[in-house]
Amino acid sequence: MNGEARAPEPVECYSGAEYAEEPRRFLWEGEWRTVSRIIARRRLPAGKQFVTEDGQGGKFTLTYLTECGQWTIRPGV
């Protein structure tokens, strides 16, 4: 693992009034990880970004790119 973003990645999220309001779990290196906490959320010109912590204490940045409809996952903050 080299810390670079990889796309596209499977992310399951809660969607209410709009898509991708809150990520719930994501696939990382063949293992489903549950989002235990959202540390920060941002609106970007290209989409939405969430800084998360998983149930194992790992921190990941999940970014949803609206135009292409894909998620990227990057370890760390």
Instruction: Give the domain extent around 31.
Output: 11-75
**Could you report the per-residue pLDDT of 4-62, keeping only the tens digit for each?**
554 456 999 999 998 999 999 999 999 999 999 999 999 999 999 999 999 999 999 99
pLDDT on residue 40: 97
In a domain, 47, yes or no: yes
Number of domains in the chain: 1
In a domain, 6, yes or no: no
CA dist 72 and 8 (Å) reads: 6
CA 49 vs CA 38, 65, 77: distances in Å: 10, 9, 11
What is this structure's pTM? 0.85
